[in-house]
Structure 1
Amino acid sequence: MKILVHITRFIVGVLFIFSGFVKLVDPIGSQYKFEEYFSESVLNIPFLIPYALPFAIFLIIAEILLGVALLVGWKPKFTVRSLLIMVIFFFFLTGYSAYFDKVTDCGCFGDAIKLTPWQTFYKDVVLTVLIFFLSYKTKLITPLKSKYFPGKVVFWSLIISSFITYYVLAHLPIIDFRPYAIGKNIPKGMEYPEDGSLPKVHDFMLEDSQNDLAPEILKMKKVVLVIAYNLDKADFEAFPDIKKMADKAIKKGYKVYGASASFSDILQMTIKKFDLPFDFLFCDETTLKTIIRSNPGIVILNEGTVVDKRNWRDIEDLKFE
């Protein structure tokens, strides 16, 4: 029985740590996912949407800390009960999503591993069973090493997780699992897989008032995209520096475009207010959120390949050939 408990404890702990970590490196992605869950078309609790980011951060760090606590044997009863509460919450959430086909990707493993709603639900069923088993065998969950070692490990896990969260929110994800990561080629991502499923990039369009300019732009060697998925929510303090960056890029022979899902009136107002030397093209908001976790953010392309991308706070780190 002890061996079975240790195996179960290891599986559950590692799974929670992995699940938390792949979301910790990109908490804004989890924010967007919870905003989708809270929306009127899913759970119909839109008043929680403004709290999606702190809610996501709390759950992400809780996943990691509880996974670590289970592995090192810190406060077994509290840890297992907390895990049980969390997994039951996810059990009902993913069950609702799968049954009513509300959210096609739960975001359980961020963008690292995509699961269908039913795959996610069955995963949570197995986890619920395993944690229920541990809840009856907490006496067999013993701490590792000295009496104070588990507490120290959990404490430092909290410190490290908090630091990573702060860094990622101030800059960009430290690991990018999306098809727009640095080094990825967007046209190649548009190719259909052999199994006939949707390509990883299937909604990349950059439209002016008449045409989709994306095919033309993806053939250019020197392109800068200034992405602001929603100007109403953008950090306007960024635009004076973006103006300087754009002027510098144009002198270096780059084509500069803005990309946004906002209405034309606010786009024109922003261009005029900051004397921006480029026009905005329309792109789907979800696509822009996927491309870069910054509003605004800067992406440099070379024949469709992402060669650099930066949060606007790191605009000085951009290098133009």
Structure 2
Amino acid sequence: MTYTGTFGTQKKEKPHLWLWIPRLIVGVLFIFSGLIKANDPLGFGYKLQEYFHVFGLNFLNDYAHWIAIFLCALEIILGALLILGIAAKKVAWGLLLLIIFFTFLTFYSAFFEVVKSCGCFGDAIPLTPWQSFLKDLVLLALIIPIFIFRDRIKPFIASLFTRNLLTLFIIIGSFGIGIYTLYFLPFIDFLPYKEGNNIVELRKIPEGAEPDVYEHIYQLKNKTTGEIKKVTDKEYLGDKLWEDENLEVIGDPESKLIKKGFELPIPDLIITDMEGTDRTDEVISNPYYNFIVVSKDLTQLSPFDFKALDKINTTIRELSEDYNIRAILATASSSEDVNYLNDQMDLVLETFYVDAVPLKSMVRSNPGVMLMLNGVVIKKWSQYNFPSKEELVKNYFDKIQ
């Protein structure tokens, strides 16, 4: 396409398809990855804490969720600006440095087997460390030409004011998503405790489900010759090597996973009372409305969190005067911390102990509330949006009268 102007004939530069393709792929993947993790910044923060532990950076644990929000926003911003062609040189540098950092982390995780899942796409698309590493290698290969030819990336929008305004909206939106979901729970819950799930059923192994298949390897020593050889359990039993008195087993057999079998969505939920008695089935199968107030660590409650928990406790106490409900506090804190809390706010909640791992999955909030009925998760709230007694009665309790 040509046109004639004051300065003569000029030719409009054609888009470089060989550059556009990696721009689109990288941009879309970065936006998608950032949005998925920004949907659950607290969960991504837990994953970051695993990395902090590996590298001896435990002092960052208290800031993990804010670091998570920053990284998620950075991915979204870089991806969006890359597609729009805004600030191409800075974006190219940011992409290159970020992907080198991520590639190092995923390789370290995979090679040294220190983190089982990188959390690249949150809980929506779990990836093994090696899968994550290969994904980062592909992205690195795509980002290299983007970086080399960054001068050829031109913005779609001619107006500098419009570009700056759009960039500002992208930055505000990218950080806003993570901050909102941190305080008011994820938009989409990918965890097994999401609303509508039957917790009772998710703890059962379905009929006909196949378990994991392992191969056990024995190390045998010939007492006469001193020769040592390894055999599988099939060889050991099939050839009746155990009957050979001249052979002795050295050490414990080595187990190797051959085939992954059925995996329970909720394998680790155990609810015990103060005496250590397992009350899991009793609690989650309650046929009446059942409030499970989750606080994995009572010592980490801020003054605002403490006030919110007191409001939750008061609201449930008022409800219990008119309705047949059960309410428990599920925590991994010590009995001393629970007793202190009870002295401060006269808990109407029964106290039960649950490991911190399932508590983190129940509600992405400390404290948070999960409403259950007949084993089904009806609704979840953070401490910031737990409703009033009137709202609970209108939306839930009046509907079953």
**Does the 8 Å contact 2:313/2:349 carry over to 1?**
no
Which of the numbers 158, 163, 166 marks the counterpart of 1:153?
166
- Aligned equivalents of 2:358, 2:294: Cα separation in 1: 10
Matches within 5 A, 1:35-184: 35-39=49-53, 42-148=54-160, 149-184=162-197
Moved more, 280-289 or 131-140: 131-140
211-220 or 295-304: bigger deviation: 211-220
Q: Please say if 1:247 is aligned against 2:317.
A: yes
Distance, in Å, in 2 between the alignment partners of 1:8 and 1:69 is 14
Instruction: Provide Cα deviations, 1:13-53, integer angstroms capped at 9, x if missing partner.
Output: 000000000111211111111111101xx112212222322
Residue of structure 1 in register with 2:343 after alignment:
272
- Segments of 5+ residues of structure 2 without an aligned counterpart are 1-14, 210-259
Whether 2:270 is the aligned partner of 1:205: answer yes
Aligned residues between the structures:
319
Report the Cα distance in structure 2 between the residues aligned to 1:170 and 1:132, rounded to whole angstroms: 37
Tell me what 1:310 maps to: 381
Q: Is contact 1:271-1:279 (8 Å) kept?
A: no
What is the SS of the residue equivalent to 2:371? strand
How far apart are residue 150 of structure 1 and its match? 4.1
Q: Which residue of 1 aligns with 2:35?
A: 21
2:199 matched to which residue of 1? Answer: 186
Residues 103/297 of structure 1: CA separation in 2 closer, same or farther (3 Å cut) = same
Output the CA distance in 2 between the equivalents of 1:261 and 1:5: 52
Cα deviation per residue 1:30-86 (whole Å; 9 max; x = unaligned)? Answer: 1111111101xx112212222322221111100000000110001111111100000
CA distance in structure 1 between the aligned counterparts of 2:310 and 2:109, rounded to whole angstroms? 43
For residue 223 of structure 1, report the CA deviation from its aligned partner.
Answer: 0.7
Q: Name the CA shift for 1:133/1:192 in 2 (closer, same or farther; >3 Å).
A: farther
C-alpha displacement at 1:118, in angstroms? 0.7
Aligned to 1:215: 281
Secondary structure of the residue aligned to 2:156 is coil
Q: Alpha carbons of 1:16 and 1:159: their partners in 2 closer, same or farther (altered >3 Å)?
A: same
User: Are positions 1:224 and 2:291 aligned together?
Assistant: yes
TM-score normalized by the length of structure 2: 0.76
CA distance in 1, matches of 2:354, 2:43: 18
Residue identity in the other structure for 1:166? I
Residue 324 of structure 2 aligns with an amino acid whose one-letter code is: G
Higher strand share goes to which structure? 2
Q: For 1:179 and 1:189, how far apart are their aligned partners in 2?
A: 8
Residue 311 of structure 1 and its aligned partner are, at CA, apart by: 1.1
Question: Deviation string for 1:99-154 (max 9, x for gaps)?
Answer: 11111111111111100111111101111111112112223322114243544332
- The structure number with the bigger radius of gyration is 2
User: What residue identity is the alignment partner of 1:178?
Assistant: L
Aligned counterparts of 1:55 and 1:82: Cα–Cα separation in 2: 16
CA contact (8 A) 1:300 1:309 kept: yes
Q: Which has the higher helix share?
A: 1
In 2, the alpha carbon distance for the partners of 1:92 and 1:191 equals: 39
Could you tell me how far 1:186 is from its partner in structure 2?
1.4
Q: Residue 329 of structure 2 aligns to a residue in which SS?
A: strand
1:188 deviates by 2.8
Q: Return the alpha-carbon distance in structure 1 between the equivalents of residues 313 and 363 of structure 2.
A: 19
What is the TM-score normalised by the length of structure 1? Answer: 0.94
